[in-house]
Structure 1
Amino acid sequence: MDVVLDEDKIVVKLSEKDYQTFVTYGTRIDLQSIFHTMIIFPALVYALEELSIDGGSERYQDRLWYRVLSNAYQKVGKSLERELADRSKSPVQLAQELMELPVTKAFTQFHELCNGGDAD
């Protein structure tokens, strides 16, 4: 997997085999949280790491994906720039907050799949 930030949208590149698996199963609602954790979450962590580097925000501020992230923070009364500058939270923690705990959701979904839909 590779992540490209120099486009208007964050581009996630997968191997042909992985991409075909995603095409086959990616629309299944019962796998959505798992795919988000496998693909979107690490891409978001990478983007936040790049933004937290000095000059990172300036480098990407004209990209659509940057504006979408900034707007997502504004909707919850926060500032992307302040969150990145704070340094009390890692990019991993920021991504988990922004995606509303994707790892927990994926484990829950995995548990439900393995136990026939029973969340307990």
Structure 2
Amino acid sequence: MEILKLLLQLYVRPGFAFSETMDRGNWLVAAGLTLLIAIPFFGTINKKLNDAYRIPTAADYVDPQMYDADLDAAAFEAKQKRSMEAYQSALAARKTVPVLGDNFFRFFNFDPTAFYR
């Protein structure tokens, strides 16, 4: 019964619940339960926050084939200027985190692949 109580605490206090589950049970149960909670948490909360508040990068708007193509300098500059204008407009139109703004991302990151960079 204690394990079920700790399972519900994984949402609120994951570190404490994981530690207590390891102390009272075994580490395999603790890791399995944490993974069982982490997957739906990612799908329901983390992904939506990442989609809503993601900061676009310039690489999202630049065509990489532009550098391989044989373009004259004027065409290259025009293409690069259009990409940067699209990037700047996306930056201006994006949502920011209420109250904290971009300072929020100094402490938290919702990008699921950020761990592997």
Shorter-chain TM-score above 0.5: no
Name the larger-Rg structure: 2
Instruction: Give 1 or 2: higher helix fraction.
Output: 2
Instruction: Give 1 or 2: higher strand fraction.
Output: 1
Kindly indicate whether structure 1 or structure 2 has the higher relative contact order, using CA contacts under 8 Å at least 6 residues apart.
1
Under a length normalisation based on structure 2, what TM-score does the superposition of the two structures give? 0.32
